[in-house]
Amino acid sequence: MFIKEADLFKEMSQDFMNELAKIMIEESYGKGTSLFKEGDSVRAFYVLEEGRVRLSVGTQGHIVYILTDPGDALGWSSLVGRDTYTASAECLAQSKLIKIEREKLDKLFEKHLADEALFFKRLAGLIGQRLINSYNSFLSSQREEDQPSYG
């Protein structure tokens, strides 16, 4: 099962993984498909299996993050007490994702507290790395803008 290899789920208990397999849905989406829009009511958490998904925040001068690596997570705001998504997600290519409904995952975590703690620790690491990547991208673009033109 692909999900076992995703960093978020490595070393989870076998019971947890067996129950997770029962609630997750593997779905395929075509290029240009919108998974959700910023401000939509949260419904699900997603894990990228293959493809490319663009996350964008804001309407003017928006922040963009491209997900390409199997195991990349999106829609995590559905797991941290938010009622709406904080970004928009659009498939940039044919993509396959694992979809896990918010309520079902919450109930699974209630039964498996140790797995929940491990999951959220890993999710925090993923979000932190995404933030670092965004900072580095921003700083890199600022340096390019600050370069004088000699032409």
Q: Report which secondary-structure segment, H or E, holds 66.
A: strand 63-67
What type of residue sits at position 37? K
| Residue written as token pair 């979000």 | 127
148: in domain? no
pLDDT digits (tens, 9 = 90+) for 86-122: 899 999 999 999 999 999 999 999 999 999 999 999 9
89: in domain? yes
pLDDT digits (tens, 9 = 90+) for 59-76: 655 678 899 999 999 998
Checking if the pLDDT of 27 tops 90, the result is yes
pTM of the shown model: 0.82
Provide the number of structural domains found in the chain: 1
Structural domain harbouring 137? 2-141
